Structure 1
Amino acid sequence: MLNKNILISGAGIAGLTLAYWLKNFGFNPTIIEQAPKLREGGYAIDFFGAGFDVAEKMKILPDLQKVDLKIQELIFVDKNNKRRGGLSVFKIGKLVNNRYFNLLRSDLSKVIYNHLDKDIEFIFGDAITQIVQTADNATVTLKSGNVRTFDLIVGADGLHSVVRSLTFGDESQFEKYYGYYASSFTIENYLQNDNAFYSYNLPGKQVSIYALKGNKLTTLFIFTSPQKISYSHHEIEKQKEILRNEYGDMAWECPSLLAKLDSAPDFYFDSVSQIRMSQWSKGRITLAGDACDCPSLLSGQGSTLAMVGAYILAGELKKAGGDYKIAFRQYENSFKPLIDDKQKLAQSFAGSLVPKSNFGIWVRNTFSNAMFSSLLSKWFVKKYMTDRIELKEY
């Protein structure tokens, strides 16, 4: 086996899944993560499709079932909390043979992490600042000043990937901004809500809430912005100010949610964007997950697709005996067509998720109420919940 020592930048879904499979296939992965520990909180994700199949291969489905949020219904309400539309999450699960969970991203990460081989090296609280490739290896300089040499490097460090920037150039070359911003945070459940996902809309703005175990309530804000907003990813107070300005005059639960914003331990704010690249690899470096194939939050499948890509990348490295030139090419050939399709699908879905007019809101609500007629439900599953890829056995 060639090139066994592999550095993975990022301890998210893609990075952890990749480490699992690389170790399983006889490689020696190391994970570096700039956060001091695994990230907490985060918004809920739909977990189904080919990612569900990868989780089954990892034998983690029983543990995922334990952290399933068990959301029963998605309910669209007006400012008086009166139901205007909705979907039965239970019925959606039935349409895909119950191979479906609602999970917090952080819970998915924890489950994968807990199934990793304990010999895998983790470097928390550090980050790559420089990469130098040679014919034989790749050397990284870390923020801490340490210098390490590996056979291969994988950037699994998200939408704002450092590995991608150091290897391929500025993010602006690859980011496709879709005109939306999203924010999420967790607070005490002052509403005592049940297992439903409640969503309130005005044209171009949506705010959603859903209950968690431990008397917690998670929020998800999505709003339109024709132009990108100028702020630093490290300016948390600036991001909170933007959110307050956008939602300060909205009714429903918005005033109460914003009043509790500063008590949230897991505030998240970012643009809704995709990363589009013609190729994902350069020399001994390749990318995985949102760093190269981000379908955007609006797709609902970023985490599951990250697991699929990680499985394929590790599998192709095993199949090629560690020959990265062959493996990286096969990884892209196998996975990129699916990603291209999913990115296009996410673009078409954005307008229906956060309608930009009162008429659009009415159409969305009406459609949701009629969703489970036989023809509509079959169309929905085929279009939005089917992954056209056959996973190889490596």
Structure 2
Amino acid sequence: MNNKSILISGAGIAGTTLAFWLKKFGFNPTIVEHAPKLREGGYAIDFWGAGFDVAERMGILPDLDKADLKIAELTFVDENNKRKGGLNYKQIVKVMNNRAFTLLRSDLARAIYKHLDSDVEIIFGDTINKIEQHADAVTVTFSSGNKRSFDLVVGADGLHSNVRGLVFGNEAQFEKYYGYYTSSYTIEDAAFDNNAYQMYNVPGKQAAVYLTNENKATTFFIFTSPQKLSYQYQDIAAQKQVLRNEFENIGWKCADLVSKMDAAPDFYFDAVSQIQMNDWSKDRVTLVGDACDCPSLLSGQGSTLAMVGAYILAGELKEANGDHKIAFQKYQHIFKPFIDDKQKIAQNFAKSFVPKSRLGIWMRNVIVNLMFLPFVSKLLVKRFSDDKLKLKVY
């Protein structure tokens, strides 16, 4: 096996999935993660399709079943908390033959991490400062000052990928902004309806909350912004002020939810964007997950697709006996057309994601109520299905 030593930047879903399969296939992966430990919190994700198949092959479905939020309905309410519409999530899961979960991103990442081989080296609290490619290796300098050599490097470090910036160039040339910002965080001592994902809309804005255990809930906010906002990416105070300005005075439970923001241990805020790249690899460096193919949260499948991409990349490296030139090319050839299609679906869905008028909100509520009809649920599932992608057994 050639090129066995592989550095993975990022201990998220893509990075840990890749490490799992690389180790299983005979490689020696090392993960470096900027955070001091696994990240907590994160908004809820729909977990189904090809990602579900990868999780099954990894043997982690029992862990995911325990972590399933078991949400029965996505409920749209008015400012008085009166139900105005709802999406029967149980019906959708039934249509999928019960091969679907609703999970917190952190719970999915934790389940994968738990199943990593004990020999996988994981470096927390460090990041890559410099990447120097040579004919037979890659020299990496870390922010800690350590310098090491690896056969290959994989950027699995998300929408704002550090590896992509170091090797492929400025983020602006790859990011496609879609006119929305989103935020999420956990709140304590929550008293909300169990098994319901409650959503409240005013034109151009949506606030949501759902229980994650007996006394904790997770919030989810999204709002329209025709232009990208001007703030430093890591300026948390500025991000929180933006969220206050947008949601504090729009009614429902928003003032209470926003008031608990400062106590949250896992505040998240970012633009809704896609990453679109013609080439995912350069010499001995490649990208996986949101770093190269982010479909945006509008797709509802970013985490599952990250697992699929990691599985294919590891599998193609195995089939090529570690020859990165062959493996990187086949990985992109297999997966990129599928990702391009998913990104187009997400782009078309963007217009209906957050209605921009009261009429639009009313029409959305009418339409989602139809999802209680089995044949309508089947049409929805078909639109987001992964039927076009047949996973190889490596």
TM-score bucket (shorter structure): over 0.9
Q: Secondary structure at the match of 2:3?
A: coil
Q: What code does the residue aligned with 2:132 have?
A: V
Match in the other structure for 2:153:
153
For the 8 Å contact 2:190–2:211, the answer to whether it is kept is no
Match in the other structure for 1:216:
216
Task: Give the Cα–Cα distance (whole angstroms) in 1 for the partners of residues 104 and 25 of structure 2.
Answer: 28
Q: How many residue pairs align between the two structures?
A: 394
Match in the other structure for 2:363:
363
Task: Give the Cα–Cα distance (whole angstroms) in 1 for the partners of residues 286 and 5 of structure 2.
Answer: 14
Q: Secondary structure at the match of 1:87?
A: strand
C-alpha deviation, 1:351, in angstroms: 2.0
Match in the other structure for 1:392:
392
For the 8 Å contact 1:175–1:276, the answer to whether it is kept is yes
Match in the other structure for 1:344:
344
Q: Secondary structure at the match of 1:71?
A: coil
1:157-186 per-residue CA deviation (whole Å, 9 max, x = no partner) reads: 000001001111000000000000000010
Match in the other structure for 1:259:
259
Percent identical residues: 66
1:32-59 per-residue CA deviation (whole Å, 9 max, x = no partner) reads: 0000000000100000000000000001
For the 8 Å contact 1:141–1:148, the answer to whether it is kept is yes
For the 8 Å contact 1:48–1:304, the answer to whether it is kept is yes
Match in the other structure for 1:98:
98
> Aligned-pair RMSD on alpha carbons?
0.9
Match in the other structure for 1:58:
58
Give the TM-score of the pair, scaled to structure 2: 0.99
For the 8 Å contact 1:192–1:215, the answer to whether it is kept is no
Q: Secondary structure at the match of 1:122?
A: strand
1:292-324 per-residue CA deviation (whole Å, 9 max, x = no partner) reads: 000001111000000000000000000000000
Q: For structure 1, which segment, 229-238 or 11-20, has the greater mean C-alpha deviation from structure 2 after superposition?
A: 229-238
For the 8 Å contact 1:155–1:286, the answer to whether it is kept is yes
Give the TM-score of the pair, scaled to structure 1: 0.99
Structure 1 residues 1-394: aligned runs within 5 Å: 1-394=1-394
For the 8 Å contact 2:192–2:210, the answer to whether it is kept is no
C-alpha deviation, 1:102, in angstroms: 0.4
For the 8 Å contact 2:6–2:28, the answer to whether it is kept is yes
Q: Secondary structure at the match of 1:370?
A: helix
For the 8 Å contact 1:181–1:271, the answer to whether it is kept is yes
For the 8 Å contact 1:183–1:270, the answer to whether it is kept is yes
For the 8 Å contact 1:189–1:211, the answer to whether it is kept is no
Task: Give the Cα–Cα distance (whole angstroms) in 2 for the partners of residues 128 and 81 of structure 1.
Answer: 47
For the 8 Å contact 1:338–1:387, the answer to whether it is kept is no
Q: For structure 1, which segment, 354-363 or 145-154, has the greater mean C-alpha deviation from structure 2 after superposition?
A: 354-363
Task: Give the Cα–Cα distance (whole angstroms) in 1 for the partners of residues 308 and 341 of structure 2.
Answer: 15
For the 8 Å contact 1:189–1:215, the answer to whether it is kept is yes
C-alpha deviation, 1:384, in angstroms: 1.8
Task: Give the Cα–Cα distance (whole angstroms) in 1 for the partners of residues 214 and 278 of structure 2.
Answer: 44
Q: What code does the residue aligned with 1:391 have?
A: L
Q: Specify every segment of 5 or more residues in structure 1 that has no aligned partner in the other structure, as ranges.
A: none
Q: For structure 1, which segment, 382-391 or 10-19, has the greater mean C-alpha deviation from structure 2 after superposition?
A: 382-391
For the 8 Å contact 2:33–2:124, the answer to whether it is kept is yes
Q: For structure 1, which segment, 348-357 or 225-234, has the greater mean C-alpha deviation from structure 2 after superposition?
A: 348-357
For the 8 Å contact 1:205–1:354, the answer to whether it is kept is yes
For the 8 Å contact 2:33–2:123, the answer to whether it is kept is yes
C-alpha deviation, 1:248, in angstroms: 2.1
